[in-house]
């Protein structure tokens, strides 16, 4: 087929060709930058900033809010519940709000499983309230506001570190200015993870020894995960800002 008869098609194909080249080149550059940055401490400090920049707890809270994460049991929801139970022990007069969508009539729904987990950790069920309607951070903030009986209560938000800033700013925007965050950071191992490559056997002749290299075995991959979380969260913060939700 002679595409020369259709100059617009030829022009479109040239545009698509240039776009594909630009996209592949840009993706490659971004990938290389992410790999290089993963060997530095920048991803951790970016992750740490998201967890602490909106302000940490300054007063005794009237409410402790567990922001919904994954289903229960799930990594994010379990660790948030663990931190919230600890906060409930420190502030025995605070009420706890579980902001997680679910069917309250189903005893095995995630929201009820979180409540059971809190009770197992010695939190009285009389202190626990549920916000089971909201399906994103903005929606949860608006619904949670309806549960607050005080005009300007102190609120402590428990959520994953990368989500703290957006959660705190969203609740403040919903009409609760006295809000602070409790980032549910993962704890580091309290034991040494080194091993002797020769003692474990296998093919060691042509491969480097990694038993004492925690950077390659763990830290590099953890930093890559941080970079993805940070990128996603900054895009979400930008969207919430443009929507006027924060």
Is the pLDDT at 2 greater than 60, yes or no?
no
Same-domain status, 23 and 129: no
**pLDDT tens digits, 7-62:** 677 777 778 888 888 888 888 888 898 888 888 889 999 999 999 998 877 789 99
Same-domain status, 86 and 156: yes
pTM of the model: 0.84
Same-domain status, 26 and 137: no
Same-domain status, 73 and 144: yes
pLDDT for the residue 225: 92
**pLDDT tens digits, 211-230:** 676 777 778 888 999 999 99
In a domain, 215, yes or no: no
b/e map 42-69, b = 16+ CB within 10 Å: ebeebbbebbeebeebeeebbbbbbbbb
Domain extent, residue 23, equals 3-37
SS3 (DSSP) at 186: coil
The Cα-based distances of 85 to 17, 101, 119, 128, 214 in angstroms read 56, 19, 9, 11, 32
Whole-number Å distance between alpha carbons of 87 and 155: 12
In a domain, 117, yes or no: yes
Whole-number Å distance between alpha carbons of 175 and 166: 15
**pLDDT tens digits, 74-111:** 888 999 999 999 999 999 999 999 999 988 988 899 99
Whole-number Å distance between alpha carbons of 144 and 163: 17
């Amino acid at each position: 087929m002679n595409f020369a008869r259709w100059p617009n098609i030829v022009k479109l194909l040239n545009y698509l060709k240039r776009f594909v080249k630009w996209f592949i080149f840009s993706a490659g550059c971004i990938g290389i930058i992410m790999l290089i940055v993963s060997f530095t401490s920048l991803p951790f400090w970016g992750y740490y900033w998201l967890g602490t920049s909106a302000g940490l707890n300054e007063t005794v809270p009237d409410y402790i809010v567990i922001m919904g994460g994954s289903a229960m049991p799930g990594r994010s929801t379990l660790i948030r519940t663990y931190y919230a139970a600890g906060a409930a022990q420190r502030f025995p007069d605070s009420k706890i709000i579980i902001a997680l969508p679910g069917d309250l009539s189903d005893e095995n729904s995630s929201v009820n499983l979180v409540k059971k987990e809190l009770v197992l950790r010695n939190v009285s069920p009389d202190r626990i309230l549920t916000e089971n309607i909201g399906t994103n951070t903005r929606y949860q903030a608006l619904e949670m506001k309806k549960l607050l009986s005080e005009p300007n209560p102190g609120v402590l938000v428990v959520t994953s570190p990368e989500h703290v800033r957006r959660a705190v700013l969203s609740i403040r925007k919903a009409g609760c200015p006295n809000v602070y965050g409790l980032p549910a950071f993962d704890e580091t191992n309290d034991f040494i993870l080194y091993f002797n490559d020769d003692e474990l056997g296998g093919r060691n002749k042509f491969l480097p020894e990694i038993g004492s290299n925690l950077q390659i075995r763990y830290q590099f991959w953890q930093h890559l995960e941080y970079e993805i979380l940070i990128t996603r969260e900054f895009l979400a913060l930008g969207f919430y800002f443009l929507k006027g939700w924060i």
